[in-house]
Amino acid sequence: MASTLARSSLLALFLIATSMVCFAANNFNKDFDITWGDGRGKLLNNGDLLTLSLDKISGSGFQSKNEYLFAKIDMQLKLVPGNSAGTVASYYLSSQGPTHDEIDYEFLGNLSGDPYIIHTNVYTQGKGEREQQFYPWFDPTADFHTYSILWNPKCIIFSVDGIPIREFKNMESMGVPFPKKQRMRLYNSLWDAEDWATRGGLVKTDWTKAPFTACYRNFNVNGCIWTDSGASTTCGPSYLHSSNSKWFTQEMDLSSKERMKWVKRKYMIYNYCTDTKRFPLGFPPECKAIQIS
């Protein structure tokens, strides 16, 4: 009981500290291009803030100038407030082509008063269907929160305000492909998905509430940038021996695993590895390892 209370107190202090501290990091002008939306994506505060808007005609999106082969990425988001049903704000890494790799956050809007859904997925060699979904333990529209992706040769870890919610390990020894060869760009978008996003498409977008707006700030990345030559990255031997490269070999420690178990126990609402209707002939091979961890 004492250890449980101590963990709860530590978590509360961590969340308070996270909500109070907010540093400007990399600049959106320097690191990103607004790629679609016909003016619905806007750079503000000299590039420290980027907003995306959605109306009945179009959504909007932006992407990183750089491509990465492994990275630790943080982004602060404030999601669409009020009745956001049918809208999806996405934040993901992706390569190109039919056998692409992808690491996804998608934030599924809902009716006013109902919680958002944090939707995660991992694609390897063009195959996804690895969805896990969570309710946030806070109001993601009231303030900015930090959503992180750690992607290194050993694992992929999704974290929210520093608390891990999901891990996808390198399980190539079990025959499970792992994204480690294809460089990926970071994408963010706000778009209309009323055909599936809210209660399977039963709740449609209320366009009288448009335009819908999501805000992005404090992008920070420590990663291996794919060079112009297309043959290497900036993570050479000297970098990998520096203190800045700890993320490159980082894995979940015992404390992180305990916090992730807390999230799964209290806030997970869907796990593909328990969906017997979807996989009547048996779960994907990585599910055994996921259930053990």
Q: Residue ranges per domain, the chain?
A: 63-292
Per the model's pLDDT, the better-predicted residue between 272 and 5 turns out to be 272
Examine the residue annotation and report whether 172 is marked as an active-site residue of this protein. Answer: no
pLDDT confidence band for 195 (50 / 70 / 90): confident
Q: Considering the candidates 67, 106, 167, 194, report the single residue annotated as catalytic.
A: 106
2 has pLDDT over 80: no
The residues facing 52 across adjacent strands are 41, 214
12 has pLDDT over 60: no
Report the pLDDT averaged over residues 38-65: 96
Report the pLDDT averaged over residues 71-96: 96
pTM over 0.85: yes
pLDDT confidence band for 201 (50 / 70 / 90): confident
Cis peptide upstream of residue 211 (ω within 30 degrees of 0): yes
First-to-last CA distance in the chain?
A: 23
What is the chain's length? 293
pLDDT of residue 5: 43
Report the pLDDT averaged over residues 117-124: 97
Class for the domain spanning 63-292? mainly beta
pLDDT confidence band for 292 (50 / 70 / 90): low
Tokens of 136: 């946030």
Examine the residue annotation and report whether 106 is marked as an active-site residue of this protein. Answer: yes
Distance of CA 89 to the CA centre of its chain: 10
pLDDT of residue 91: 95
Percent of the chain with pLDDT over 70: 89
Per the model's pLDDT, the better-predicted residue between 243 and 181 turns out to be 181
53 has pLDDT over 80: yes
